[in-house]
Amino acid sequence: EGPGDPKEGMSIADEIKALFGKLPMFGIGLGHQLMALSQGADTYKLPYGHHGSNQPAKVVGTDRTLITAQNHNYVVCKDSIKKGEISYFNVNDGTVEGIAYKADKAYSVQFEPTDAIIAEFMKVMEE
């Protein structure tokens, strides 16, 4: 079922907002949703959620699609994103799977990240 409604963690989103842009950040799963909430986006509950190790996440601007592991019922509403750019989306339903806040050195993904994604963030932290 996943961690539940991310809006129940608005106090954590407020903490993220206070630190945003001050240090590199990488949100995974619920962290992705809380990071988006901290930047003014909204979330909503999916009818069935994304569960299992077979969720296709398309890398925006490429022809690459990752097969990812996920377990959640809530997603970031793409029309509510005020800051950052969508970096991944779900091929099945078009929902947001990742957001890049490049100017703030902050990134997030809804799924379990690959080693390559983590390595990319490590480079950002080294800068």
Q: For residue range 94-112, list pLDDT tens digits in order.
A: 999 999 999 999 999 999 9
pTM: 0.95
CA distance 33 to 13: 9
Query: In the prediction, which pLDDT does 3 show?
Result: 80
The SS3 call for residue 83 is coil
pLDDT in tens, 47-77: 999 999 999 999 999 999 999 999 999 999 9
How do residues 8-58 score in pLDDT, each as one tens digit?
Answer: 999 999 999 999 999 999 999 999 999 999 999 999 999 999 999 999 999
Q: What is the pLDDT of residue 1?
A: 55
What is the per-residue burial (b if ≥16 Cβ within 10 Å, else e) of 55-91?
bebbeeeeeeebebebbbbbbbeeeebeebeebbbbe
